[in-house]
């Protein structure tokens, strides 16, 4: 006997309630997942994937040349909120450094950072960066040599 949960016959009213409840759960889950996806995706990776594919081999060559330079960067936050970057493996002087701070979720506007070289050889940004999680796109240039790196920064 299948009368454990009901006191009468199984009618069209019961099946209608089951179908409405099923679709309410499906739609509710879809809304929650869509909202989470929109809030966590930072935007377009490339505007046109075909055009980006045409530059792929050039980007690989640039990456090889950059890796051959052997330069590295270490970033840290100073007490006043400014960004300090120490470069290693860079020969001589004359290095210029710039960076773009991008919020990983796009909730804050991008911030361009300019740097001044310090007596110890490190670089300190001219402006503070709000205490948030950032992606720093660092670019260093010495003569015709160009080096780029992206780092997580807190």
- pLDDT per residue rounded down to tens, the chain (154 residues): 455 565 778 889 999 999 999 999 999 999 999 999 888 776 667 788 898 899 999 999 999 999 999 999 999 999 999 999 999 998 878 899 999 999 887 788 999 999 999 988 899 999 999 998 999 999 999 988 999 999 999 8
Structure tokens that stand for 26 in this block:
């499906």
The structure's pTM equals 0.65
CB neighbours of residue 97 within 10 Å? 23
């Amino acid at each position: 006997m299948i009368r454990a949960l009901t006191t009468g016959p199984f009618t069209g009213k019961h099946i209608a309630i089951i179908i409405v409840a099923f679709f309410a759960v499906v739609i509710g889950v879809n809304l929650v997942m869509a909202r989470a996806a929109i809030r966590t995706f930072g935007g377009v990776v490339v505007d046109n994937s075909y055009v980006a594919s045409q530059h792929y081999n050039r980007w690989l060559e640039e990456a090889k040349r950059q890796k051959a330079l052997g330069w590295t960067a270490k970033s840290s936050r100073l007490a006043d909120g400014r960004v300090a970057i120490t470069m290693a493996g860079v020969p001589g002087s004359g290095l210029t450094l710039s960076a773009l701070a991008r919020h990983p979720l796009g909730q804050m506007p991008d911030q361009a950072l300019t740097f001044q070289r310090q007596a110890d050889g490190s670089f300190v940004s001219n402006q503070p960066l709000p205490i948030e999680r950032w992606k720093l796109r660092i670019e260093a240039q010495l003569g015709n040599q160009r080096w780029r790196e992206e780092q997580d920064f807190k």
